[in-house]
A = this chain, B = another copy of it.
Amino acid sequence: MKTFQEMSRQELEEMRGELTARFEEIKAEGLKLDMSRGKPAPEQLDTAMPLLNVLNAESDMQAENGTDCRNYGLMDGLPEAKRLIAEMLETKPENVIVDGNASLSLMFDTVSHSVTHGVCGSTPWCKLDHVKFLCPAPGYDRHFRVTEYFGIEMITIPMTEDGPDMDLVEKYVQEDESVKGIWCVPKYSNPQGYTYSDETVRRFANLKPAARDFRIYWDNAYCIHDLYEDKQDTLLEILAECEKAGNPDLVFEFASTSKISFAGAGVSAVASSPKNLEWFKKAMTVQTIGPDKINQLRHVRYYKDRAGLKAQMMKNSALIRPKFELVLEMLKEELEGLGIGRWTNPLGGYFISFDAVEGCAKAIVAKCKEGGMVLTGAGATYPYGVDPKDSNIRIAPSYPSLAEMKEATKLFILCVKLVSIDKILEQI
């Protein structure tokens, strides 16, 4: 099989003719496909509906420590909710604060408190001329928007299959005092689905930051979000590694049940050292009268423990897995060996990352839109929304139905081919 680059102008132009005709046919169908966000599909949410049966007007509303969950109090979460989340994150309940419905808010608040009040007694970032964050990329656009919002300078760190380029991370963190944080999605990373290797985690835990207010923002969003029961990535537990390394305060870990129970109606958590949590609670005492404990109670009574959460995830993945497999099979069948794209084969998480020929990502996303499909904006996976190679595209297969997914992938492949041909023809 020839790669596109090996083909002659004539061959490419002929192919373009055929593909364009097919594209016009699809376009005429007036599709409305959406592969832009990592949203659970309705069928997936259906599997969590029994959660709504757990509490009713007759229920005992007391937490195990006697707290009336319908009243004020218990700012940092129910003891049993801390235990549940601790099991999920493989850490200790005393390392956990369980909060409201969104871990993104916890991340925003952590950065915001650092900007206005400084971290654990350090200078507030708003008083500093330079504050920088390291941003492994491709990464999660909502992370980058938080740091951009606060005017924090973002430095792109290349991703590898083992996690961020740790030589570069160590260099920046250990030499530059203005580097205050790094965004990480350590398991089934967004968008590549990579899981940090044990060595990467250990190198993180052993960082010797130049800034004493440097923290790792460890967004463990996909901690139990496996696609398979028998093939799963494993991630070394970071808080214990930090303790071992004599760096107990190095990490803020975040998680939620948004992609376990209901998206935006689950519970979220931050896990960290006692010292960091003390600092966080100082702000919480002013900011809130406490989280929705009724929803915490609902989750705890329904899921009970780690096994309960994992059982829910297996229901979810039974629905997501075929979509991932379909996309990956089609990509393999239609694009492998053509030299116009590489993609990841994740075992969990919500995304597949696609790298097109350099300079083609924006054009592919635009072409897909023309054909009736919304993709995540090209560049979104990079700080400031700018992918220097204009190559990365995030594919989110979870939301559409299997049938829509097939249509969507067909269109995507067509657009990749068309845009790549144009690019190559330009360069011949």
Contacts and interface: CB of A to CB of B under 8 A. Distances in A.
A292 B264 CA distance: 6
Interface residues of A, number: 58
A288 B72 contact: no
A69 B292 contact: no
Interface of A: 37, 39-40, 42, 45, 48-53, 55-59, 61, 68-73, 100-102, 104-105, 108-109, 112, 115-117, 124, 126, 142, 145-146, 149-150, 258, 262-265, 283, 285-295
Nearest to A42: B68
A115 B286 CA distance: 15
A150 B286 CA distance: 10
A344 to B, nearest CB: 23
Copies, count: 2
Contacts of A55: 52
11 contacts: A48-B70, A70-B263, A70-B265, A71-B263, A71-B264, A72-B263, A73-B264, A105-B287, A108-B287, A145-B286, A264-B291
Contacts of A52: 55-57, 59, 294
A409 to B, nearest CB: 22
A39 B285 CA distance: 17
Given A59-B52, A70-B48, A116-B116, A290 B102 contact: yes
A399 to B, nearest CB: 9
B294 A262 contact: yes
